[in-house]
Structure 1
Amino acid sequence: MKTRLLFILLLLPAFGFASYFSDGMRAYKSGNYKVAKELFEMAIEEDGAEQAQFLLGLLYLKGLGVDRNLPKAKQLLGKAAELGNARAKCYLAEVYLLQKKKERQTALKLLKEGKKAGALECVDIAATHKLPL
């Protein structure tokens, strides 16, 4: 698997039409989360891609293709939220709620902000944690 991943990663720059992020999205959508992780990391390194920050944070939050890592998810989702990603606010709130640190008010604020910006995930996360929005 490592050889295959290395082969893919070495070939990607040769294709002018491909970007790390778009290839990462294809891997993510096909459920190949380990490859998606590597490609999102390269997209972030290449241009700080806010959407790649968000999706990589989501991988760490959900434990998709990586070990679940709430501090890493918090860092990545926080950066994506700072860059304007409304959905990242929803999942960042979920990280706060899962960490069980008295961050309920911070989480509620993030959920309200995300919902106001149109991120419907905030409604589901609030309902799961029995928070009124």
Structure 2
Amino acid sequence: MKKIILVILFITSIFAIDFTFTKAYQYFKKGEKLEKTNPQKAQEYFQKSYILLQTIKERPSSQIYFMLGKMYLNGWGVEQNFSIAEKYFKQSIELGNTRAYCCLAKLYIKTNKKQLAKKYLNLAIKNNYFCNKVDMKNLKIKKD
């Protein structure tokens, strides 16, 4: 009987984490869509997403770390912090997220670390991911 209860609790916790991540992802995407047209509302969504992500970030996920990295890189719902963003992007990469290479390259462009930017742009290409918002020739971030 104890084993059955433990299995039920385990399965329930997995569904709760999945639900929390889904909700955080939805808030994150809403924030991205509103970033340019309604920055104040976008910040509200990013903050809601951040709060949810913090509750599940200890469960290794390339997507969770990627989203947290983008939030810190851009100051979405949190105070902008490049070193925290860098840490999250590297964790995301370790878990297989090749999109994080582009974000690391952007971070290094913003912090004027051109050699590192070039390294991560090349790693992105090597992993079949093209960084469309980066001018690879001049190592600059393209304007929207």
- Normalising by the residue count of structure 1, what TM-score does the alignment of the two structures yield? 0.74
TM-fit CA distance, 1:114: 1.1
CA RMSD of aligned residues (A): 2.4
Ranges of 4+ aligned residues in structure 1 off by more than 4 Å:
15-18
Segments of 5+ residues of structure 2 without an aligned counterpart are 1-12, 32-44
For residues 105-120 of structure 1, the aligned pairs below 5 Å read 105-120=115-130
- Normalising by the residue count of structure 2, what TM-score does the alignment of the two structures yield? 0.69
| Letter matched to residue 133 of structure 2 | D
The 3-state SS of whatever aligns with 1:96 is: helix
Give the whole-Å Cα distance in 1 for the aligned partners of 2:139 and 2:98.
18
Number of residue-to-residue matches in the alignment = 114
Give the whole-Å Cα distance in 2 for the aligned partners of 1:33 and 1:129.
32
Relative distance call for 1:40 and 1:116 in structure 2 (3 A) is same
TM-fit CA distance, 1:65: 1.1
TM-fit CA distance, 1:115: 2.5
Deviates more, 1:111-120 or 1:87-96: 111-120
Equivalent of residue 65 in structure 1, options 77, 88, 111: 77
Segments of 5+ residues of structure 1 without an aligned counterpart are 1-12
Relative distance call for 1:57 and 1:129 in structure 2 (3 A) is farther
Task: Give the number of the structure whose alpha-carbon radius of gyration is greater.
Answer: 2
